[in-house]
Amino acid sequence: MNKTRYILSVLAALAVATAASAQSKSFSLGKWVELHNAILKELNRSYVDSLEVGRIEREGVDAMLEALDPYTVYVPEEEQEDFQMMLSNTYGGIGAVIYKADVNGNVLINEPYAGSPAAKAGLVCGDEIEAIDGETTHGLTSQQSSDKMRGKPGTTVVFRVKKLRGGPTWKAGDVIDVPVTRERIALPSVEYVGMLNEKDGYILMSKFTEGVAQSVRDGYNTLKKQGMKRLVFDLRGNGGGLMHEAVNIVSLFVPRGSVVVTSKGRAAGSEQVYKTTTDPVDLDIPIVVLVDSGSASASEIVSGALQDLDRATVIGTRTYGKGLVQSIRPLPYDGQLKVTTAKYYTPSGRCVQAIDYSHRNEDGSVGHIPDSLTHEFKTAHGRTVRDGGGITPDFEVKGHRYSRLTYSIVMNGIVDQYAMKYVREHEALPSVEDFHFTDYADFVDFAKDKEFDYRSSARAFFDEMKKALAEDGLTEAMSGEIAALEKSLDMDKVTFLNLKKDEIIPFIEEEIAVRYWFQEAGVKVQLRYDDQLKEALTKPAISW
């Protein structure tokens, strides 16, 4: 057989094999679609109870997609608004956080946003909304109240408000009608821009939404005018967002034409290389990127690219490890499928995706990955970096680990509720720079009667151990030891609150500051107590 005939025969065999494989996949898909329809029809015909088709189908779809990865999800038509808000960080409404402790009580304005329609209309923290467009708020849940406040930008909603403080034509306690014109509320993705000291500029960014790169550029220009000599770019807790905005941010600080990220899907020819397409604003300023286990996706694109291109010093703890690219696909009945279509790779070739995203730490971040399971890659100037999940910082600086009690009082809204009480009792305060919370005894007196789990981590673990001992039939045999250990671990609520005073006060100060001076003031308070940031500023820039 000559070479030409041999090659043709191999190609023919490959074509047959490919066709057979395609037919096999097509048959398998058709088989399961047919089985699914048959099962559903039989259930609808003969199941003993009435069949909630919509509910069981939705649960079935969710379970099917969950078996793939955590990020491939179905979004039906009725959830589109919330989905778009997640993508764009915008919604139509009045721009205020509300609080409603009692379904039969009034809605409280908890936290109006700076410059929002609520703030323009004079609504302040502590104002009570008795009715929305003439309908009483009594009997409405917090979500139902919030839904009534949202609406198309340009429309007006009228609140009947019991005012906390006096105004031009009303006294404290008066009930007045307050019309508020809804607007498109854009929650800022760049939450703070400011100087930390004479040389260090600081940009805090919470999401990668449309246009955020321009906000970062504007923030850089503002800080440069104020004398910035080093930029601190804080991506801690930033769960990501739009890939092209990540590319645009990297482009601010690296040469035009630099590779930022590469995505590779299953299909042949699906590889896409994303390069910077604009001129940078600064190629020389030292950059520190702060990351932690909550920094994911687009945050990892930015930190990984700047690290691989030897353009920034990455400081903090290893990032989350989400290196998957999602695309939006339309579905029948105006639904959408957010589906994982590719993995992305940093300029050195690292895949940020965790090796096994189904086994993670409690906070969802990457668990320990031995070096034997990872691979070495080289940065632009020859430094060694590794894959395996997330971006490993150049300098590891751990953040503060809060006690179980502190998490409990924050997550149960105790600090939030106290802040509203404080606002009602204090009409004015000095500037945020001069404000320090000193009445901790009043907070303890407020919190001690609230319901929350105040057990220490050790006590919570002990309670689980007691259950295990009971299951093993060892409770009676070890009663003496159990009683002694329980006594040593017992601590009343007030004692524990006082023990964690220094840990809790920063949260109280932040919540109070936000209610008098809006969200930016809360960040200023956070920076006051940010030991991880303070330590990061002591680290030297990596010598390229």
Residues contacting 357, CB < 8 A, separation 6+: 69, 70, 321, 322
The catalytically annotated residue of 127, 308, 387, 530 is 308
Which phi and psi (to 5°) does residue 502 adopt? -65, -25
How far is residue 118's CA from residue 131's CA, in Å, rounded to a whole number?
A: 15
C-alpha radius of gyration, the chain, whole number: 28
Measured between alpha carbons, how far is residue 209 from residues 59, 203, 216, 268, 471 in Å? 30, 15, 12, 30, 51
| Cβ–Cβ under 8 Å, residues 379 and 310 | yes
Measured between alpha carbons, how far is residue 303 from residues 50, 164, 295, 312, 537 in Å? 53, 46, 9, 8, 17
Q: How many CA atoms lie within 13 A of 444 on its CB side?
A: 15
How far is residue 128's CA from residue 162's CA, in Å, rounded to a whole number?
A: 5
How far is residue 369's CA from residue 391's CA, in Å, rounded to a whole number?
A: 12
49 is catalytic: no
How far is residue 341's CA from residue 69's CA, in Å, rounded to a whole number?
A: 11
Q: Which residue has the tokens 């960040």?
A: 523
Q: In angstroms, how far is CA 165 from the centroid of its own chain? A: 35
The catalytically annotated residue of 189, 293, 297, 299 is 297
322 is catalytic: yes
71: closest CA among 337, 264, 331?
337
The catalytically annotated residue of 322, 500, 524, 530 is 322
209: closest CA among 183, 236, 248?
248
157: closest CA among 120, 138, 182?
182
Q: Which two tokens stand for residue 374?
A: 């990872």
293 is catalytic: no
Q: Which residues are catalytic?
A: 297, 308, 322
